[in-house]
Amino acid sequence: NHNSISNNPHDSMMIPRLLVFTHETNLLDPRTANHTVAQRFIPNILHTIHIYQQAWSGGNHSQTESKSRSIIPVWFLDNAQCRRALYDIHPELAHYFHQEPKGMYKADLCRLAALYWTGGYYMDVDLQAIQPVTFASMTTTTNSTTTSFSTVLMLEGALVFFQAFLASHAQNPILYMSLCIMLQYYAAKDKRDDFIQTTIQQEMLLSVATKQQQAPQQ
């Protein structure tokens, strides 16, 4: 049924230890390592991988080891992988992703699709990580946290989410509703300003998160 996004609730409500990055090309692919854009972001990406590797594996690995190999799961989606992830949710999302001219909005679509399928920790490639985001309640058997969704709330000016960082469990309803809203936006014939896409997503995330907090415990 292509009239709605498929929604199959995931058994796990915990955020897995998986780092997720997106870009037009896979900047960690050796074939693009000498590209100007890749050279700009690779040191930052490797630093992010390194500090999470330190936090998740006991802190016994040097940054040199982190640069040569990653011992923690990393999923770097290029445009082709983004389209596949979106297509498997709804074919029209992949079409709109392909037609979208602005990279920032492509990233909005792709990060949601990636986290919807696998869960994990998403960070923009230009986000300079100072220390890893960790949660107090970590399970020892599943190597994941009991927290189900995390992002950054900016308190300056309007109340908005800083979407350069998102962490979520797979098939989170927040991600699902966000993708639904974005699909509706792209499908509308009377589209407003391009920036409304980001505004809608931010408002929706806040609305869904608030409703979930207010919902009675089952």
Give yes or no for residue 93 having a pLDDT over 60. yes
Q: How does pLDDT run across 107-165, given as a tens digit for each residue? A: 999 999 999 999 999 999 999 889 998 875 544 444 555 778 888 877 776 666 778 89
Residue 9 pLDDT level (bands cut at 50, 70, 90): very low
**For 78-87, 136-145, 169-178, which range has the lowest pLDDT when averaged over its residues?**
136-145
Q: Could you give the CA distance from residue 88 to residue 94 in angstroms, rounded to a whole number?
A: 9
Q: Quote the CA–CA distance of 54 and 39 in Å, as a whole number.
A: 23
Helix and strand element counts for the chain (H, E): 7, 7
